[in-house]
Structure 1
Amino acid sequence: MSKITSKLVSSARPSSSEYFIRDSELKGFALRVFPSGTIKYLAEVWHEGKSHRKTLGSHPVLTLQDARKQALAFIRDVQSGQREESRKAKVTLGDLFKDYTKGDRLKPGTLKNHTQVVRFYLKDWIDKPVTSITKEMVEKLFFQIRDYGVHEGKPTYSQATKTMRILSALMNYACADELIENNPVTVLKLKRIDRSIIKREHYLKAEEVRRLLQVTRNETHPMTLAVHLMLYTGLRKNEALRLKWEDIETVNDVSCIVIRDTKNCRPHYLPITPVINEILKKASNGSMYVFSSPQHSDRHLVDERPTLKRLSKAIGVVFKCHDLRRTFATRASEAGVDFLMVKRLLNHKSNDITAQYIQWNSKQNLLVMRDALARVEY
């Protein structure tokens, strides 16, 4: 280590690998000599358990005198915390969202939903530094979306709540990354502003399901058959519509529908009963999907609305796909299926430690599940 002078810089020669010449006068100031002969000035400093380094420029474009001044300024900024504050101030909400959603942290459907919300309801904030978002701004935006609407959209309580839930997740991420100290969305909780989502409770009564099954008994439309399957299995809409023939497997000698891409990321095993088997037989086709699109046999159904609208009109009761899941659970309970089994058939996770030890794909448990499914009649 020696003092870096103009003579030393001029005499520095390249080697087979890059090397550093560190200054004895200004700790943290150094030369970086590359095999190509390029010489660059840099500054580096260790502060609060982190290494900070900055390339200042190349010799001879940057003079030694200016490089030393820049190095000194950089070291002072790091040690005083000004550089870290400057870094934080440059991170925008858009940058944060990109970082938060990179990799496979979110499922494709969730990512698409989050992106739509951020691009519409938070689009005015995309280029704002995360550090500039205040509690007052959050509260004002919530009421704006809820009571008046934004960007010529209608006022919507559900979207106001969803936007704040997503924004809160982003701000918690920013806290974890030490960009901010506190999540500004907590102001809504602290002020006891109601953001609860009204739970939907609609389901089809047994007589309504019987009427539905009666008017559709001869139908082979894939969406109608998907409705039948959901009534007898409690599958979520996407689980049913994305079902492939390869998902029909024999597990421990029991024929099952196996859903691997589930909401809770836990494989879901549903033994096939005679009723379910008849539905699958009706759905038989040359596609890889059980319920393929009538227009594109190589794709699964995606739009259930036309069929549900037609069926709702036929039975005089408007219903959605998730209503069928509630219908299945209610009917299973009415048939005497115990609560833990209903929970298992719906593939709901349990926080109970003992329940987590049970291996539901054992042969005997699959047979018990099949008997429980068979009790669901309308």
Structure 2
Amino acid sequence: MQTALTQAVIDRAKLAKRPYEIRDSRLNGFLVRVQPSGVKSFYCEYDRGKRWRLGRADSMAVGQARNQAKRIISQYHSGIDPMDEKKSNARAITLGEFIDLFFQPWAQSHQKAHEQNIKRIRTVFKDFLKSKMDDINVIDLERWRASRIAVGNKTTTTNRDIASIKAVFNRAVDFEIIEQNPIAKVKKAREDTRPRVRYLNDEELKLLLESLDRREERRCGERDSANRWRSERGYRRLPDFKKCAFTDHLKPMIILSLHTGMRRGEVFDLKWQHVDFTVRSIAVVGETAKSGKTRHIPMNRTCLEVLGRWQKQCAKSSGRVFQNADGMRFNNVKKSWTAILEQAGIVNFRWHDMRHHFASRLAMAGVDLNAIRELLGHSDYEMTLRYAHLAPEHKRKAVELLD
């Protein structure tokens, strides 16, 4: 059959007892082959009896596959047979070249955090970027792991990096750039799957909130001083902070994180349309959630009050709840966050630890671990079990069943 290949067409393609093909009406030679097993693969048939497997349809977008097919057909018409080049290219392509030409375009359409992921891979595996993919082996990765551990990197970090680079090589196998993954046998090192979580004790929480209040007072004083200076010189005065609920985004952003357990990126992406003041609920939509699934977080009184005051202060009650001076999405708030911690005298506490603080406080208050899992949006219950030691009441009730 022949039709304009779209993702919808591929998704609707039914399974049959025998393989069959759907050819693209927009590009002659571009097709998808559907196997009885359910595997759907893109091919480029650039001449009679000559075809090139582009990759699986569940690992690359239709537009990306069509562009690769155009490139292959163009090369063939200019006198270059891709089949003749295939073996030499597989031996010659470097890790850096594969990332540039193949992995990065794929990641842009399949990974939410593709920019950070690729940047991380380039940084931690910079010594391998100029190496040919077939020349990188298990011993190279084990030596790399040993060197990272020697300079103080955590086992959890090296395991995560190894998983990332193995995924790159697996993608090269899918694209038929290399025949097999040469580092497939590299295994994760043993690690503590339930590490100690960092949360604020009562005194630290008090210090953090006091530091935020002092920052608000200081910024109000600085604005008053600036406006006196501007008035004396006939300049237009800046908005009076004393008439605002908050001097900027930082305090409401931190309060929201402490009382909802939202990830930093979820806070940055939150829009007013997902904040329901009537039912007192925040929707973290699937397109911005790490799990890809929408979840709803109830707002307590503190969160409701802070967001309500912040909304009245904002120039617009639509779009993102928090946006920078240019009206764009925040990338980070590291500088102001670090300053707040220093003034409060709080050490070893990251922005993400506010998520741990939220969950830890709930566990210590006796909230069921499954309810905590749903609030945090964990797809794996194992992730939530790290807070189990903070809920001793559950264990006590369990052993009391034996009395």
Change beyond 3 A, Cα 1:176–1:48: closer
Change beyond 3 A, Cα 1:48–1:304: closer
What's the TM-score once normalised by structure 2's chain length? 0.57
The separation in 1 between residues aligned to 2:329 and 2:77, in whole angstroms, is 56
Q: Does 1:329 align with 2:337?
A: no
Worse-matched range after superposition: 235-244 or 325-334: 235-244
Q: 2:183 aligns with which of 176, 182, 185?
A: 185
SS at match of 1:258: strand
| Preserved CA contact (<8 Å) 1:161 1:197 | no
The separation in 1 between residues aligned to 2:211 and 2:47, in whole angstroms, is 78
Q: Does 1:308 align with 2:321?
A: no
Change beyond 3 A, Cα 1:180–1:274: same
Change beyond 3 A, Cα 1:297–1:345: same
- Aligned residue for 2:197? 201
Matched length: 277
- Aligned residue for 2:307? 280
Q: 1:244 aligns with which of 264, 268, 271?
A: 271
What's the TM-score once normalised by structure 1's chain length? 0.60
Q: 1:92 aligns with which of 91, 94, 114?
A: 94
**Counterpart of 1:176 in structure 2: which amino acid?**
D
The separation in 2 between residues aligned to 1:138 and 1:343, in whole angstroms, is 35
Q: Does 1:256 align with 2:281?
A: yes
**Counterpart of 2:263 in structure 1: which amino acid?**
R
Q: 2:115 aligns with which of 100, 112, 115?
A: 112
Worse-matched range after superposition: 305-314 or 212-221: 212-221
SS at match of 1:104: helix
The separation in 1 between residues aligned to 2:98 and 2:193, in whole angstroms, is 26
| 1:1-378 → structure 2 map (5 Å cutoff) | 45=49, 55=76, 84-97=86-99, 98-101=101-104, 102=106, 103-107=108-112, 110-147=113-150, 156-157=153-154, 160-189=158-187, 193=189, 199=195, 201-216=197-212, 219=216, 220=246, 221-249=248-276, 254-260=279-285, 261-283=288-310, 284-287=313-316, 288-293=319-324, 296=325, 298-318=327-347, 319-350=349-380
**Counterpart of 2:102 in structure 1: which amino acid?**
D
**Counterpart of 1:204 in structure 2: which amino acid?**
L
- Aligned residue for 2:227? none
1:228 deviates by 0.9
Change beyond 3 A, Cα 1:121–1:195: farther
Computing the radius of gyration from Cα coordinates, the structure with the larger value is 1
1:162 deviates by 4.2
Change beyond 3 A, Cα 1:157–1:343: closer
Change beyond 3 A, Cα 1:43–1:175: closer
Change beyond 3 A, Cα 1:273–1:340: same
**Counterpart of 1:285 in structure 2: which amino acid?**
C
RMSD of Structure 2 on Structure 1 (CA): 3.9
SS at match of 2:315: coil
1:122 deviates by 3.0
- Aligned residue for 1:20? none
| Preserved CA contact (<8 Å) 1:139 1:187 | no
Worse-matched range after superposition: 257-266 or 239-248: 239-248
Which string of whole-angstrom CA distances, capped at 9 and with x for unpartnered residues, describes residues 19-46 of structure 1?
xxxxxxxxxxxxxxxxxxxxxxx98546
The separation in 2 between residues aligned to 1:57 and 1:237, in whole angstroms, is 50
| Preserved CA contact (<8 Å) 2:136 2:183 | no
| Preserved CA contact (<8 Å) 2:94 2:129 | yes
1:338 deviates by 1.1
The separation in 2 between residues aligned to 1:224 and 1:140, in whole angstroms, is 45
**Counterpart of 1:94 in structure 2: which amino acid?**
G
The separation in 2 between residues aligned to 1:272 and 1:341, in whole angstroms, is 15
| Preserved CA contact (<8 Å) 2:173 2:181 | yes
Change beyond 3 A, Cα 1:127–1:225: same
| Preserved CA contact (<8 Å) 1:131 1:179 | no
Structure 2 portions without partners, runs of 5+: 1-45, 55-71, 217-245, 383-403
The separation in 2 between residues aligned to 1:325 and 1:311, in whole angstroms, is 17
Change beyond 3 A, Cα 1:351–1:91: farther
Structure 1 portions without partners, runs of 5+: 1-41, 59-69, 149-154, 353-378
1:297 deviates by 5.1
**Counterpart of 1:201 in structure 2: which amino acid?**
V
| Preserved CA contact (<8 Å) 1:249 1:255 | yes
SS at match of 1:201: coil
1:330 deviates by 0.9
SS at match of 2:250: helix
1:269 deviates by 1.6
